[in-house]
Chain A
Amino acid sequence: MADRISIYIDKKEYFTTEDKTILEAAQENGVYIPTLCHLPETESSTSCRICTVMVNGRPLTACSTPVGEGMEIDNSTTQITEWRKSVLEIMFTEGNHFCPSCEKSGNCRLQALAYRYQIMAPQFPYQFNEREIDATNDKIIQDHNRCIICKRCVRAIKDEHGRSFFAFIDRGHKLRVRLDRKLGKELTDELAEAAMEVCPVGSILVREKGFETPIGQRKYDLERIGADIEQNGQMKNHE
């Protein structure tokens, strides 16, 4: 067993073990830290930066930083909230997100976070980037308008030899995520569904599955993102 230690989040003391990341420690204590690119069980990518917290005056990503004894973590200063909102606003202005017509609406983490953080008009100009919709695959459709380049599909969706179906192409603001045309033909139903599941937004869609659960009854239609974690925390506090 790893050693039990105490940490402070927003000046409040919590207990955890030293083998945890800040995110894990926060979650088990019912403190919500938003995440987008983080995917448990895969190597962390730390690309979205939305889980940024302050530790000793330094911004660090909660999903990848291990806790330490007595660590003082800020998770809800105005500065941090502003950064998180900015990250969301950039995502909305970099891609082309029309939530009302998106199959993922209500199950989309980006949309859910925008509600949670009350994003209104973004401070950044819309970039109106031209993005394509790749419908060449038999099982899935990839709508690049919605891709937030979180790399979750790249990291998680591999065949039995460990070969990746998705990968990054190019770099900088030209960076895109592409599906391997050839390997894509071998995509099984399970992997296709897993890809859709792994994608936090509506960029990967399994054909004919988009509206299985009607809009209005989906995960974030029913409760705000993070509510489950916070409820756990309340229950724990009651005990």
Chain B
Amino acid sequence: MTQHELKIICEKNHFDRHSLMDILHEIHDHQGFTTEEDIRILSENLKISEIDLRQTISFYHFFACSSRGKYTIYLNNSAISNLKGREEIEKVFIEEGGCVKNGVSPDGLIGLYETPCIGMSDQEPAALINGRIFTNLTAFRAKELLHNMKKGLPLEDMYTTVYGDGRNAHPEMKSIVRNNIRRVGPLLRPSEKMQVLKNQVSQMSPEQVLEQVKLAELRGRGGAGFPTGLKWQFCRMAEGKKKYVFCNADEGEPGTFKDRVLLTEKPEDIIEGMIIAGYAIGAQEGVLYLRYEYKYMKNYLEYIIQTLREEGFLGKNPAGIKGFSFDMRIQLGAGSYVCGEESALIESTEGKRGEPRSRPPFPVEKGYLGYPTVVNNVETFCAAVKIVQFGGDWYNSLGTDESKGTKLVSVSGDCRYPGIYELEWGFTMRDVLEMVGAKETRAVQMGGPSGELVNKHQFDRILCYSDLATGGSIMIFDRRRNVIEDVVVNFMEFFINESCGSCVPCRNIPKLLKEKLDKILSGKGTSQDLADMERWGAMMKINRCGLGHTAAHPILSSLKNFRSHYERKLRKHTDFISDVDLLEASKEAAEYTNREPVI
């Protein structure tokens, strides 16, 4: 871009380095990547070093420093995408489209890149092409897409199906994504917009709102399950000139897509929940952090926000509530799972690499720009609205003794009806499998790669925080699948790519564990390797954030629940085989000296 154009972008963003994500997005929207020259000019305008800019750019999967093609295909490489036939699609792109894996075709037309779960596990294989979603890909569709790209067609003209159901077809969204809502409860039932703000909140004090959320015993729906009322209270009590409410719509846990559906069908509820949170904690501003994969919803969500603003629900005195004002904006992410961690989310919103902060201080004390900040999951805000509407008592009566209310789960993999199910806590795994039409199930991954891999003897376990907790992801694998090859390896690769790399164990151990897996799969594993994996995996608890704490889970939990799958592959009668293959290592020397080594 020209010096002048870049200056205008910087000016629009007040030459503030904290707006770096927005600035970079604008450059990428314009030309697909940031050039050396752009970096130089930005560095001057924003008064930060070039290397500092590169620090941010190089962290994010969807930012680039060189062209990724006129059309950039990000093909999902999640375990679910694999079992739905990703490989075949990739083959078509490479063999018939002249694409190069993780690179650009020689003619510069098409870039083909792998990307972790894009939140479409119910309609895989799926790909992100220039920010648009293409689902249910087949070899035929891939060929068709290639053909259209070679013709230079705009993306909108490449759809071959009608728009998706519900508001996917909204003129501001026009996506072919389908909701696949299979079971509704209080959160997913139709609701009238901003009714709770108008009718209830306007009659309540912030303390009363807080009281109801506490009474409901609502726990965070993003995975960690922290009591929401307590979080709000901490933030309310924290000192700060300003306070912030963040909605975490990063939905990065592979296999999860329930936030996608809420963002599509219930954006008013989410925003209402954010306003309610703002009212309860005394915040004036909100940020909805939207993962890049959901960029196709950005215009639509902005349209909704603007409409609500015009209708008087955002801005000064929302719904006429005196002495209170609240407005919000969207922050688009750029491809990083760890940015879903609340402090990394804040770092990213400040225009930095998404590296989780060390705590304390917690975001509720010192969050965005140093101000007290509440970060909650999309679904948590929706639940808060219902709690204020129907009362904490009512919510508390749903679910089990220690897990209250309902939970949206995203079901994918080997089953007849993948999609979204709103369930009261307390169902057994067996109930869920029957509900979704899963047959001959071998393994269920509960809570995504960071969760637990459950075997068939554990199907009577219960969905709740104290047993089978989940942020929403349930991936089903039937008898045809190999637990290690099809599941564990994929999940470990995911964590290796998504670690921010800061902590010594998190940067290294997943990679070392993956090497052990490879060794075992190549038939050279021994019982000693299993013991090493367990010992090394246990060390992950000294990492800084939740990613590091759970990144060895795929191995640790499969070693626990599917041990025989490993043992079958081990070399018998020996407990040690070197990691180094001496014959292989001395091959070159042997060739030169024309002598076989004596080993």
Chain B residues proximal to chain A, CB less than 8 Å: 47-52, 54-55, 58-59, 336, 353, 355, 358, 360, 496-505, 507-509, 511-512, 515, 532, 536, 539, 541-544, 579
Contacts and interface: CB of A to CB of B under 8 A. Distances in A.
Nearest to B53: A167
Contact of B504 (A48, A166, A171, A179): A48
A83 B358 CA distance: 19
A17 B505 CA distance: 32
Contact of B532 (A47, A123, A171): A123
A61 B496 contact: no
B504 A47 contact: yes
A168 B51 CA distance: 8
Interface stretch (A23-31, A86-94, A193-201): A86-94
A180 interface: yes
A180 B579 contact: no
A179 B54 CA distance: 11
Interface in A153-181: 161, 163-175, 178-181
A166 B507 contact: no
Given A94-B504, A148-B504, A164-B48, 14 more contacts: A49-B542, A59-B541, A124-B536, A125-B512, A127-B508, A163-B48, A163-B52, A167-B49, A168-B59, A168-B353, A170-B59, A171-B336, A172-B501, A173-B511
A172 B500 CA distance: 5
Contacts of B505: 49, 86-87, 90
B544 A163 contact: no
Contacts of A49: 503-505, 542-544
A33 B50 CA distance: 36
Contacts of A165: 49, 51
B498 A167 contact: no
A183 interface: yes
A233 interface: no
Contacts of B501: 149, 168, 170-175
Contact of A86 (B52, B497, B539, B579): B539
A90 B55 CA distance: 24
B498 A168 contact: no
A66 interface: yes
28 contacts: A45-B502, A46-B358, A46-B544, A49-B503, A49-B543, A49-B544, A52-B542, A59-B541, A86-B505, A86-B539, A87-B505, A90-B504, A94-B507, A148-B504, A149-B507, A151-B502, A167-B54, A168-B55, A168-B353, A170-B58, A171-B336, A171-B501, A175-B500, A175-B507, A180-B49, A180-B50, A181-B50, A183-B50
Contacts of B509: 90
Contact of B508 (A64, A164, A170, A173): A173
Given A61-B358, A86-B539, A90-B504, A172 B52 contact: no
Given A59-B541, A59-B542, A64-B358, A171 B59 contact: yes
A171 B51 contact: no
Contact of A180 (B51, B358, B503, B512): B51
A164 to B, nearest CB: 5
A175 B498 CA distance: 11
B50 A178 contact: no
Given A49-B504, A90-B505, A172 B497 contact: yes
A65 interface: yes
Contacts of B52: 163-164, 167, 180
A213 interface: no
A182 interface: yes
A44 interface: yes
B527 to A, nearest CB: 16
A7 to B, nearest CB: 16
B502 A164 contact: no
Contact of B51 (A66, A91, A124, A178): A178
B471 to A, nearest CB: 22
A178 B59 CA distance: 14
A183 B360 contact: no
Given A44-B358, A172-B507, A163 B499 contact: no
A146 to B, nearest CB: 15
A158 to B, nearest CB: 9
B545 to A, nearest CB: 10
A48 to B, nearest CB: 6
A166 B542 CA distance: 26
Contacts of A164: 48-49, 51-52
B360 A65 contact: yes
A91 B49 contact: no
* B496, B501, B532, B542 interface centre (most CB from chain A within 10 Å): B542
Given A46-B358, A164-B49, A178 B496 contact: no
Nearest to A183: B49
Contacts of A149: 501-502, 504, 507
A83 B336 CA distance: 28
B51 A166 contact: yes
A173 B50 contact: no
Contact of B502 (A50, A91, A94, A175): A175
Contacts of B543: 49
